Structure 1
Amino acid sequence: MLFGNRNDIVQYDNGYISKIPVFQFILLSCLVPLWAAAASLNDVLITQFKSVFALSDFASALVQSAFYSGYFLISIPASMVIRNTTYKTAILCGLGFYIAGCSLFFPASHMATYTMFLVAIFAIAIGLGFLETSVNTYSTMLGPQETATLRLNISQTFQPLGSIAGILLGKYLIFQEGESMAAQLASMDAVQAAAYKMEMLQHTLEPYHIMIYILLGIFALFAVTAYPKCKVKSASTEGVPSIGKTLSYLAGNGRFKRGIVAQFLYVGMQVAVWSFTIRLALHLDPSINERAAANYMVVSFIFFFIGKFVANFLMTKFSANKVLALYAAIGVLDIFVVAFAPGMAALYGAVFASFLFGPCWATIYARTLDAVEKKYTETAGAIIVMSIIGGAFVPALQGYVSDITGSMQLSFIVNVVCFAFIAWYFHKEARLEEGEEMKLADCNG
C-alpha cells in the first residue's frame, strides 16, 4: 500500500487526528472539482436537450431533478457503508458509480431518448452522493478538530475550478459554432432536423469520454493510498447508535433542522441560477449562440471562486455568520435586479449572484454538523447531503414559473425566497454565537 499512514499521527476517540496527512487531504480535495464538473455539465445539457428534444423549461429542468434525486436516495445507504466499513470504501464505491454513469451516456446517445439520458445522469448522481457523503464529513475529520471548518472550506475552494472545467468541456465539445440550435432548426425540414438532432446528441458523449479516463486514474490512486479511519470510538456499553435512535435524536435538534432547510434552499437556489443563466443569455441576446452564451457561465464560476476567497478572508476578521448573512442580504437585492432590470443588466445580476454564493455550502454543512453529537456524525452528514435534493425542486419550480408566466427573467424571483431564508439562518446563527460568547464571558468573569 503506497503513501501509508504516518506513525506520528494520533487517532483520537472523537474521530479527529492530531495532524493533517497532506497528500491524502490533497487527493481527497481533488474529488470536489470532479463532482463540480459533473454538476456544471448539467447546465450545458439543459440547454442542449431543450432544443434537441423540444422541451419546456420545466421538462428541461428535470435534468437537475434526476441528478439531485440520486443524491437524496443514496445518502443514507452511503452513510451505512461508511459506518460498517470506512470512508475510503465509500469513496471507491462512489467513483465506481460515477464511472458507470458516464459510460451510460454511450447507449443513451444511440437510443436518443430523453429518459435514457436522465437514467445516466441519475447513475452519476448515485456516485456523487457516495462521494459527497464521504468527502464532506471526512475532510472535517482528517486533522485536528479546531481546524475542521477551515479544512472543509479549503477543500470546497477547489469546486469552482471543476465547475469552470465542466463548462469549458461543454462549451467546446458539446456546443458547436454557427447560429444557435433553435435558429438552425427553424430553417430545416423534418428530415434535416432529425439528422441534426442526432448529430448534436453524439457531441454529448465527448466530455464524458474524457471524464472516464480521469476517474479511472483517480480510482487507482485511491485504491493504493492508505487513509486513517477517522471513526468515532463509542463506549462499549453504548455501541454504535442505531439509525432509528439517530433519526429520533436529529428530529429533536432544532439547530440541525434549520441547517437542513438552509442547505436545501441554498443548493436549490444555486442550481436554479446556474441552470438558467445560459438560457437567460440566449433570451436577452438572440444574436449569440450557445457557445457564446456559455461564456457567461465561465465568468459566473470565476466570480464564485473570487467570492469564496473574499468571504474566507472576511471570515478570518469577522464572524462567519455575520459575513454570510450580509452576503445573503445583498443576494436578495441582486436577484430582484435579475428578475426586473431591463436588458443585459439582468444577465449581469445573474452572473454576480455567483460571487454571493460564497462558501455558504461548506459553512452551513460544518455549522449543522457541529450541532450534532459526534456519535451521530455519519448519519447526520448523510442527511445534510440529502438536503441537496433542493437542487431537484427549486430549478423545476423556476422552470414551471417560466412556463406559466412566459418570462425566463421573471422566473428568477423564486430565488429571492431562498436567499431571504439563508440571510435569516445566518442571522439566527450569529445571535446564538453571541449568546454563547456572553455565557463564556460570564463564566470566566
Structure 2
Amino acid sequence: MNNKKITQFSDGYLSRVPILPFVLVTLLFPLWGAASSLNDVLITQFKAVFDLSDTATAFVQSAFYGGYFLIAIPAATIIKKTSYQIAIIIGLLFYIIGCSIFFPASHLATYGMFLAAIFGIAIGLSFLETSANTYTTMLGPKATATRRINLAQLFNPIGNITGIMLGKYFVFTNGDSMKSQLATMTPAEADAYSLEMLQRTLVPYKVILVILLVVLVMFLIVKFPKAKPEVLKDNKKKVGLGETLKYLSKNTSFKKGILAQFIYMALQTTVWSFTIRLALDLNPNINERFASNFMIFSFIAFFVGRLIANILMTKFKPTFVLSLYSIIGVLVLAYVALVPNMTAIYGAIFVSVLFGPCWPTIYGRTLETVEDKYRETAGGVVVMAILGGAVGPVIQGFFSDWVGSLQLSFIAPMIFFLYLAFYFYKEHKAAAVTYVKKESKIA
C-alpha cells in the first residue's frame, strides 16, 4: 500500500492502515512479552540461588513494573513533544542497555545488580508500551481502533512463549531441581553451582540483544506517519502536563479504567509469577525445566483466549464477553487455591485463557473516554497502571509467607478477578443504558 495515499484526519487517525509501519509496531509486542515472561523464570532461579522468601522474589516484578510506572509519563511527554517513532527508538535503546547490564550482573552475582538490569529493561519497555499501545489505535480509522490494538496484542503471547522457551533451555537444566541439588552440596560447591546458574541467565538476553539491534535499525530507516491530532501542532492550543492531569483527575470513567487496568495487571502477574513455583510445590519430583512447560501452556492458553475473545467481541459486546470471562476466572482461581493436587496447576493454566482480552480492551475503552488533545499523556497514565504488576506479586508473596502455603495464596488473584467481574458488569450495564437512550432519541 502506498502511504502517500493515506489521509490523516484532524484527530490524528488515518483513513487506512499503513501496512509496513503497523507490522513493525506490532513486532514490538512480542519483544516486551519475552522480557516479562523471562521474569517468571528469574523468580524461580533467584528463589533457589539466593535463598529468598516468596515476598523477596516478588521484587523482581516490583523492579520491572516499577520502572514502567516511573517512566510512563516522561515517555508520554516525549511522544507529545516529538513523535511515536522517536519514543520507540528511545525505548529500544534502553531495552538494549538493560539487557547489557546482565553481563556484569551474571558475574557480580548480587540480587541488587540483577534488579538494576531488570529496571533498565523496564525503562525501555515503558517507552515501547506507552508508544505502541496508543500508536496502534491511531494507525487507521477511529472506528476500528480497539480492534487494531487487540490484533497487535495477539502477538504478545508469542513473545511470552519465546521468553519461557529461552528460559527453559538456556537457564534451567536437566536433573533434580536446584533446591534438591543445593541441599546435597558443601558450601563451596553450592557457591560454585549458584554462580554457574546465575551466568546461565545471561544467554537469553544475548539472543534478545541481537533481535533488538535489527528492530532498532528498521525503526531508524522506515518512515512512520505522525498520527497525532492537528491541534497539537498549533502552539496556541497545546495543553500542558498540569492541565492534562487536572482534566484526567476529573474524568470518572478514565479513573475507573485506570483502577481496572491496575487490578488486571496485579492479577495477571501474580498468577504467572508463581505458576512454576506452584508446580514445584505440588510435585517435588519434577525440576524447573519440566515445570516451565506449564508456563508455555499458559501462554498458549493466553493466545487462544485472546483469539476466541476477538471473535466473540464481533458478535457480542466486549463488556459482556469480559464479564463472563471474569466470573469464570473467579471460580477457576478458587479451584487453584483450594484443591490440593496437581489438577490445580491445570486450573492456573486455564485461567490464562481468560486473561487474553483484558488489557487491550480496558486500554482502548479507557482512551476512548479522553478528548483527543489529552490522548498522548492519557496513554502514558494508562501504562502507569501497570504498577499493579509490581504490587500484586508482593501481596501474594507476603500472603504465601504468612499462611505458609503458596497454593492458598492464589486467593489473592481470585479477589482481583472478582473486582474485574464487578467492573465489567457495571460497564456493561452503563453501555446498555447509553444504547437505550440513543435508540429513544432516534425514535
Which consecutive aligned stretches of 4+ in structure 1 deviate over 4 angstroms post-superposition? Answer: 235-238
For 2:399, the equivalent position in structure 1 comes to 401
**Superposition map of 1:15-414 within 5 A:** 15-234=12-231, 236=234, 238-414=236-412
How far, CA to CA, are the matches of 1:286 and 1:260 in structure 2? Answer: 39
C-alpha distance in structure 2 between counterparts of 1:193 and 1:64, whole Å: 26
Distance between the aligned counterparts of 2:148 and 2:4, measured in 1?
22
Shift in Å, 1:357: 0.6
Per mean C-alpha deviation after superposition, the further-off stretch among 107-116 and 415-424 is: 415-424
Moved more, 427-436 or 181-190: 427-436
| 1:413-432 matches, cutoff 5 A | 413-432=411-430
In the TM superposition, residue 342 of structure 1 has moved relative to its aligned partner by: 2.2
* 1:207-253 Cα deviation digits (max 9, x unpaired): 00010000000000110000000111118585111111111111111
In structure 1, distance between residues paired with 2:230 and 2:369: 19
CA distance in structure 1 between the partners assigned to 2:55 and 2:99 by the alignment: 24
Supply the distance in 2 between the matched residues of 1:100 and 1:157 (Cα, whole angstroms): 27
Distance 1:339 1:6 in 2: 52
Q: 1:238 and 1:259 mapped to 2: Cα distance?
A: 30
Post-superposition CA distance 1:3-35 (Å, at most 9, x none):
9x7211111110101110111101110000000
The one-letter code matched in structure 1 to 2:97 is A
CA deviation digits over 1:360-394, x for unaligned, max 9? 00000000000111110001100000000000000
Aligned AA (2:11): N
Q: CA deviation at 1:315?
A: 0.7
Give the letter for the 2:295 counterpart. Answer: M
Give the percent of matched residue pairs that are identical in Structure 1 and Structure 2.
Answer: 55
Q: Residue type of the partner of 2:84?
A: Y
- Matched letter for residue 404 of structure 2: G
Residues 126-157 of structure 1: per-residue CA shift (max 9 Å, x gap): 00000000000000000011110000000000
Q: How big is each residue's C-alpha offset from its partner over 1:263-304, in whole Å with a ceiling of 9 and x where there is no partner?
A: 001011101100000000000000000000000000001111
SS at match of 1:418: helix
Question: Shift of the alpha carbon at 1:417?
Answer: 1.6
Residue 339 of structure 2 aligns to which amino acid in structure 1?
Answer: A
| Structure 1 gaps, min length 5 | none
AA aligned opposite 2:367:
L
Deviation track 1:332-377 (CA, whole Å, cap 9, x = no partner) reads: 1111001101201211111111011121000000000001111100
SS of alignment partner, residue 10 of structure 2: coil
For residues 392-421 of structure 1, give each alpha carbon's deviation from its aligned partner in whole angstroms, at most 9, with x where no partner exists. 000011001001111000001001221011
Residues paired across the two proteins, number: 442
Deviation of residue 428 (structure 1)? 1.4
Q: Which amino acid aligns with 1:363?
A: T
TM-score between both structures, scaled by the size of structure 1: 0.98
TM-score by length of structure 2 reads: 0.99
Which AA in structure 1 matches 2:167?
G
Secondary structure class of the residue paired with 2:4: coil
Measure the CA separation in 1 of the matches of 2:343 and 2:197.
31
How far apart are the structure 2 equivalents of 1:6 and 1:97? Answer: 29
**For the residues of structure 2 that align with 1:225 and 1:167, how far apart are their CA atoms?**
31
